[in-house]
Chains A and B, each alone.
Chain A
Amino acid sequence: MIARPKHQRLVLVVLALLSVLGAVLLAMWGLKDRAAYFYTPADVVAGKAVAGKAVRLGGMVERGSVKRDRDGVTTRFMVEDGEARVLVSYRGILPDLFREGSGVVAEGKLAPDQTFVADNILAKHDERYMPPELGNQAAEHKVGQTLKR
């Protein structure tokens, strides 16, 4: 196939535009069911989180709720936001700054029995490192407000 110069330039432009369009379509298709939404315990209790779908749960670790299973590596604790509480179960080593009464984000799925099974726990570090949802957002603000009351 011999392409004349003008023709060739046109082909390249069309290819470039098609690839950009393709990237956008692929990304939209991928984001539709692969983005993990962020919920508070109140959202979960209200039924906003669909069981079995990857989501993030953020709130405070309820004081006195942290219990370790007999296997020594599964931890269960309640995450609360002042309005509602959700039981979280996590198999793994907790992050260094995981504390009762302090902020936490759990990544995982809601089981059919409404337990949140976490694959990963992000704890609030010092003021310079924190999961984005705990940094500047309504979740913590709301939590803080409710706890003060």
Chain B
Amino acid sequence: MIPEAGLSAIWLAAALSLLGLFLSIAHVRGKLEADRPVRALAMVQGLLCLIAFAMLVIVFARTDLSVALVAENSHSAKPLIYKIAGAWGNHEGSMLLWVTVLGVSGAALAIFSRQLPSRTLVAALGAQAALALGFHAFLLFASNPFARLDPAPLEGRGLNPLLQDPGLAFHPPTLYLGYVGLSVAFSLAVGAMLAGDVDRQLARAMRPWVLGAWIFLTLGITAGSYWAYYELGWGGWWFWDPVENASLMPWLAATALLHSVAVLAARNALKAWTMMLAVIAFSMSMVGTFLVRSGILTSVHAFAVDPTRGAFILGLLGIYVTAAFVLFAVRAGSLREGAPFELVSREAGIVVNNLLLTVILGIVFIGTLYPLMAEALSGEKLSVGAPYFDSVAGPLAILLGILLAFGPLLSWRQEKRPIFRKLALPALCAATALVIAFLAMPQASILSRLGLALAAGLIPAAILPLTGRNPLRTPLATWGMVIAHLGAAVSVAGMAADSAFTTEKLTAVRLGETVDVGPWLVRFENVSPVAGPNWTALEAELRASRGGGVHVLRPQSRFFTDPPTETNEAAIQTVLGGQLYTVLGQADQEGRWQLRLWWKPMVTLIWLGGMLVGLGGLLALIGHSMRVWRRRRAASL
């Protein structure tokens, strides 16, 4: 009964979103007053999505093998947490999660954005209902998560062992909150353009959504990068895999949007520009969903190869994006002119930030889709990887970093003070690092040397907006900005350091032999069999020392039984200054084992920076929300 309850909830939610769409159209055209019903429908629809998703989780937790999805993706001998995570570790379940976030976002929009003019809010809820309707239809007609299997098999087929990892269990929900949270920015933009009310109030209503979605995207990408780093055992942290790019593209667009929506909120400028970015950001989320979920890319994230699904998502994508762009083309001209600004001003800085982010987005977009296009058009098979993305997008990212050093110091509208004097210290740091990097590190790539110099200047520069301020009186949002920018600088430092300073050792050793990598001496002590809940493994014991204390690392070669698969489990020791990364390979006839060791100084900064960026976003979100709350309370008194 539980699966049927879930399926009914989806049908009902679809029906309600259709009703909500009609009512909101009628309201916007002035035919009837449907403010309250539309909001109520959005809330109930969100609740129904949640119920459907809860039903799926229950079915997975109980390993109900009469449900086809469970039989194909789960196994009774799996730890409970992976049974639950299995609910979204597959195509149908993850799309249900996607739709659930969409529905809940619509409900939250109806609850929290009442300060907007009624026409704008109802039109936005109508846009949200239109989005929900399409994706509900996708679930119901192309991707039913609750389909039954008769007769039920005796045992399930298990979950891909690469996905049986605590970090990955929460990776998709985090990313989806980001992807789909951007739907609200899209709907608000569509609603505001329909109602003709693009102003500061709209920007203030849109900003928390953009910030929230962007925080989740940032954390999701950071976590995903760390997962790839320790789980794949290749020692890299970003592979320019299409699936990674699918999450990077909405992030780039959301980062641009975040900055331009701040201009709209503070200065009532960049109106059409911000609306365009809001449309692009969620379009990129849908492109990402299409890439990952259509099966067009075959990778660890793409589960089923079913052409109807790809065509369905592509169709939805085409309809929504075209409709939004047509609306934009029709309405952009009628938007009232934004407030003017000078060539040297914070607004202009943010315009350049947006342009650079857009160009990077375009480069990533083209590079990601080019192999698909080339194969479709000429049948030629090719792949686009790090050489393209690093060399084409890398220099632009450096430019963006330079802009970040002084952009936040500029004042709104027109800069009259000599701000460049403040930048003396950061410039000195960057110049010193640049000279050292070019004289002392001839083997490192140019991009990594530039990156090191940039980070050396950017870390002090990021803190400059706080100088001359009383820290206790500084608004939380300013703290958030400073911490997020500092995080970006820290992350750049980690990326450049990983590329410039990593030492690698690949060798075959016998028991008792010692290998050196960087400053470390690693002794290969032992290999022994170990067993986990649903796997067995060969585990090496490595004793690593550099001067003082000894660290024991235990890399494994794991064998999973359901489905039968092997994986390498890297062992990583984090110390002050970096990470020692070890992978166990195969044995040969002479009793030698392959070992691959990396000493990666400062690599941890990559993810630490990512977390700082997320924290900065969170502080800004809290700061802005408190200000809105205070303003509302003052208004009601």
A5 part of interface (Cβ distance < 8 Å)? yes
State whether B340 touches A4 (Cβ < 8 A).
yes
Expressed in whole angstroms, the Cα–Cα distance for A148 and B273 within the complex equals 59
Other than A3-B340, A23-B358, A35-B388, give 16 A-B pairs with Cβ distance below 8 A.
A1-B342, A8-B341, A12-B351, A16-B358, A26-B392, A30-B363, A54-B387, A72-B590, A73-B507, A93-B594, A96-B565, A126-B563, A126-B564, A128-B160, A129-B298, A132-B298
Within A3-37, the residues touching B (CB, 8 Å) are 3-6, 8-9, 12, 15-16, 19-20, 22-24, 26-31, 34-37
User: Could you say which of A23, A92, A132, A136 contacts B506, with CB atoms under 8 Å apart?
Assistant: A92
Q: Please, which residues of chain B bring their CB within 8 A of the CB of A22?
A: 359
CB distance from B401 to the nearest CB of A (A): 18
Q: Please, which residues of chain A bring their CB within 8 A of the CB of B381?
A: 37-38, 133, 137, 139
A44 part of interface (Cβ distance < 8 Å)? no
Q: Please, which residues of chain B bring their CB within 8 A of the CB of A8?
A: 340-341
State whether B383 touches A38 (Cβ < 8 A).
yes
B33 part of interface (Cβ distance < 8 Å)? no
Q: Known: A35-B384, A72-B507. Is A27-B298 also a contact (CB below 8 A)?
A: no
B108 part of interface (Cβ distance < 8 Å)? no
State whether A30 touches B355 (Cβ < 8 A).
no
Expressed in whole angstroms, the Cα–Cα distance for A30 and B371 within the complex equals 14
List 5 contacting pairs A-B, 8 Å CB cutoff, sorted by A.
A23-B358, A24-B362, A27-B367, A31-B384, A34-B388
Q: Known: A5-B340, A27-B362, A27-B363. Is A136-B298 also a contact (CB below 8 A)?
A: yes
User: Could you say which of A72, A73, A125 contacts B565, with CB atoms under 8 Å apart?
Assistant: A125
- Interface digits, B290-316 against A, CB 8 Å rule (1 contact, 0 not)? 000000011110010100000000000
- The stretch of B581-589, B607-615, B626-634 in contact with A is B581-589
* Size category, B interface: 35 or more
A68 part of interface (Cβ distance < 8 Å)? yes
Q: Known: A30-B367, A31-B367. Is A36-B383 also a contact (CB below 8 A)?
A: yes
Looking at chain A's contact residues, is the secondary structure mostly helix, strand, loop, or mixed?
Answer: mixed
Nearest residue, chain A, Cβ from B370: A31
CB distance from A58 to the nearest CB of B (A): 8
Expressed in whole angstroms, the Cα–Cα distance for A16 and B371 within the complex equals 26
CB distance from B296 to the nearest CB of A (A): 9
Expressed in whole angstroms, the Cα–Cα distance for A68 and B586 within the complex equals 11
The 6 A-B residue pairs whose C-beta atoms are closest, nearest first, are A72-B508, A23-B362, A96-B566, A38-B381, A93-B585, A30-B392
Q: Please, which residues of chain B bring their CB within 8 A of the CB of A29?
A: 392
CB distance from A107 to the nearest CB of B (A): 8
A76 part of interface (Cβ distance < 8 Å)? no
Q: Please, which residues of chain B bring their CB within 8 A of the CB of A120?
A: 234
State whether B388 touches A93 (Cβ < 8 A).
no
Expressed in whole angstroms, the Cα–Cα distance for A19 and B566 within the complex equals 46
B449 part of interface (Cβ distance < 8 Å)? no
User: Could you say which of A30, A73, A97, A126 contacts B594, with CB atoms under 8 Å apart?
Assistant: A73
Q: Please, which residues of chain A bring their CB within 8 A of the CB of B508?
A: 71-73
Nearest residue, chain B, Cβ from A13: B272
B337 part of interface (Cβ distance < 8 Å)? yes
B567 part of interface (Cβ distance < 8 Å)? yes
